Amino acid sequence: MLLIDVARVSEEVSRTSSRLGKIGHLAELLGRVRSEEAELAIAYLYGELPQRQIGVGWRSLQDLPAPRQIATMTLTRVNDLFDEIKRQGGAGSQAARKALVGELFGGLTQQEQAFLIRLLSGELRQGALEGAMIEAVAKASGAPSAEVRRALTLRGWLPAVGAAALAGGVEALRGFHVEVGRPVAPMLAQSAPSMAAALAKVGEPAALEWKIDGIRVQAHRAGETVAAFTRTLDDITAQVPELVEAVRALPYDDLILDGEVIALRADGRPEPFQVTASRVASRVDVAKMRAKTPLSVFFFDALRVAGRDLLDLTDTERHDALRAAVPDNLLIPRLTTGDVPEAEAFFAEVVRRGHEGVVVKSPKTPYAAGRRGAGWIKVKPRHTLDLVVLAVEWGHGRREGRLSNLHLGARAPETGGFVMLGKTFKGLTDELLAWQTERFLALADGPTDGWTVKVRPEQVVEVAFDAVQTSSRYPGGMALRFARVLRYREDKRAEEADTVETVRSLMF
């Protein structure tokens, strides 16, 4: 199959607003792809590469050769070039990589180039990704989408599942099973603004668990072999020897457990997320890092114990199996209750201990792998500040032509100025986007680089955030984590905004 066929379908999908329409276009292409190229077609059409990454990002996609008129590039040839690009390494590799990227793009038409740029920069922006592709595979293969989802849960790579479905239908999908050593897409949590809201969503009684601010890890053990995978299924076994040792010491040798690794201080309180992230990301001298910043591991779910798959069991049943396999000191603290005051006391205690919040779990739900199911609801405390908008950036995509991303500043009374604490684009409705575009154009002040519009510091905005963290990027040495807009404060003047000192007092 030619790349142009895929690029054309992608464009068609972009133009179609109906979700069923998008699925139809995708399925139509899957219906005519040769089986050897099915995996490639599926991957490219939902924004993935079989290579996962090839070391080419937005910067490497500048200054591309002129397009050709005639489309001749096949999917197989694209894949071969991706392989070659990925293999480049060592001194001079950037030049070699650039040459290969040039060779690839020099063989493409305008439309194909545009498609590959979007694919490689991770922004397909066609309104259809994995969810739509699952349905398209189901439609093209004649298999129920639930079967496709199930196989995907167990295999973790949709192109492989899709190719199997297209070749062998439901029968082939049923051939996928849990394999120790191959990660399962982890279940994710929705969020709620309060414990009461979370309990109401779940329906009481619920299991409450500490939410600790570390790195999600899925641990596998087959015999004496242990492996650890992140949320995106990357193998980080080498970076977490503490986990490997802990799992190897368990009394079962055929296991898949779900948990979190985190760096704790000597007094048991959590280190800031940055410390845990630094430790887990370090690959060069793990032993040295470990001596300085040891990791603790805590488990909260079990997908397989003693060779028995637990995915379809209820939360309660899985937790019983977990407790049988893991000693108490490796378990995330948990309380089952339907009582709101009791739940709120639990929440307050978790926060008092310095942890991130609570996950409220429905006792009856199975492990909804890869989904943000209603079975898990996270609740976190929320801080707010009244800050001043210092500048605004033009938006992309559906926000094109709107001023979108706000630069936020706290008041610095001693200088009479403002200190930037970060940016946010979250929490804005279309109505608010329209309003702020007009408002900030009216406040525009000074030269613009065509991207960022500086404004007179007069507009106060109430911002919610999770924490203040140390920052080497911003002048105050601190930045907001997960900042989002709550509302504009038309009743407040900039001189009444929160100060840098107030923000500093919120750091831990």
Residues belonging to the binding site for ATP are 209, 216, 231, 260, 300, 372, 378
Residue 76 in the binding site for DNA (CB under 7 A): no
3-state helix, strand, coil in the chain (%, to 5): 40, 25, 35
Judge whether 492 counts as a catalytic residue: no
Q: Which residue is listed with tokens 């630069």? A: 407
| Cβ-based nearer residue to DNA, 30 or 321 | 30
Retrieve residue 234's tokens. Answer: 């990357």
| Cβ-based nearer residue to DNA, 230 or 437 | 230
Q: Mind giving me the DSSP string for 434-461?
A: HHHHHHHHHHB-S---SSEEEB-TT-EE
CA-to-CA dists, residue 63 to 102, 112, 371, 374, angstroms: 9, 16, 39, 46
Q: Which residue is listed with tokens 């690794």? A: 261
Alpha-carbon distance of 498 to 504, in angstroms, equals 11
Binding residues: 209, 216, 231, 260, 300, 372, 378
Q: Which residue is listed with tokens 């190229």? A: 37
| Cβ-based nearer residue to DNA, 165 or 321 | 165
Alpha-carbon distance of 65 to 59, in angstroms, equals 14
The stretch among 35-43, 72-80, 429-437, 499-507 that binds DNA (CB under 7 A) is 429-437
| One of 91, 266, 287, 291 touching DNA (CB under 7 A) | 91
**Pairing between strand 372-379 and 188-191?**
parallel
The C-alpha angle 138, 141, 146, rounded to 5 degrees, equals: 30
Least distance between DNA and beta carbon 255 (Å): 20
The stretch among 306-314, 322-330, 345-353, 373-381 that binds DNA (CB under 7 A) is 373-381
Least distance between DNA and beta carbon 216 (Å): 4
| Cβ-based nearer residue to DNA, 240 or 305 | 240
Least distance between DNA and beta carbon 452 (Å): 10
Least distance between DNA and beta carbon 308 (Å): 26
Least distance between DNA and beta carbon 371 (Å): 5
Site map (CB under 7 A) of DNA, residues 454-483, x = contact: ----------x-x--xxxxxx----xxxx-
Q: Of residues 11-40, which lie at the interface with DNA (CB under 7 A)?
A: 17-21
Least distance between DNA and beta carbon 370 (Å): 8
| Cβ-based nearer residue to DNA, 474 or 488 | 474
| Cβ-based nearer residue to DNA, 69 or 429 | 429
Identify the active-site residue in 22, 98, 139, 211: 211
| Cβ-based nearer residue to DNA, 275 or 345 | 275
| One of 63, 95, 175, 307 touching DNA (CB under 7 A) | 95
Written as one letter, the residue type at 232 is T
Q: Are 371 and 134 in contact (CB under 8 A)?
A: no
CA-to-CA dists, residue 449 to 56, 61, 241, 347, 419, angstroms: 26, 22, 48, 46, 21
| One of 282, 316, 337, 499 touching DNA (CB under 7 A) | 282
Helix (H) or strand (E) holding 105: helix 93-106
| Cβ-based nearer residue to DNA, 4 or 137 | 137
Residue 117 in the binding site for DNA (CB under 7 A): no
Q: Of residues 182-241, which lie at the interface with DNA (CB under 7 A)?
A: 191, 213, 215-216, 230-232, 234, 236
| Cβ-based nearer residue to DNA, 50 or 427 | 427
DSSP 68: B
Q: Of residues 241-280, which lie at the interface with DNA (CB under 7 A)?
A: 273-274, 277-278, 280
| One of 8, 68, 323, 371 touching DNA (CB under 7 A) | 371
Q: Are 56 and 98 in contact (CB under 8 A)?
A: no
Q: Of residues 287-346, which lie at the interface with DNA (CB under 7 A)?
A: none
Q: Of residues 406-425, which lie at the interface with DNA (CB under 7 A)?
A: 422-425
Q: Of residues 38-57, which lie at the interface with DNA (CB under 7 A)?
A: 46, 52-57
Handedness of CA 301, 303, 306, 308 (dihedral sign): positive
Residue 183 CB: number of other CB atoms within 10 A? 23
The stretch among 73-81, 165-173, 426-434, 442-450 that binds DNA (CB under 7 A) is 426-434
| One of 224, 267, 431, 449 touching DNA (CB under 7 A) | 431
The stretch among 59-67, 169-177, 437-445, 497-505 that binds DNA (CB under 7 A) is 59-67
Residue 83 in the binding site for DNA (CB under 7 A): no
Q: Mind giving me the DSSP string for 301-350?
A: EEEEETTEE-TTS-HHHHHHHHHHHS-GGGBPPEEEE--HHHHHHHHHHH
**Site size toward DNA, by CB under 7 A:** 91
Alpha helix segments (H runs only) across 124-194: 130-141, 145-155, 158-174
Please list, in sequence order, all residues whose beta carbon lies within 8 angstroms of the beta carbon of residue 54, skipping any fewer than 6 positions away: 82, 85, 86, 120
List 209's β-bridge partners, or say none.
Answer: 334, 359
Site map (CB under 7 A) of DNA, residues 380-399, x = contact: x-x----------x-xxxxx
DSSP 507: -
Positions annotated as catalytic residues are 211
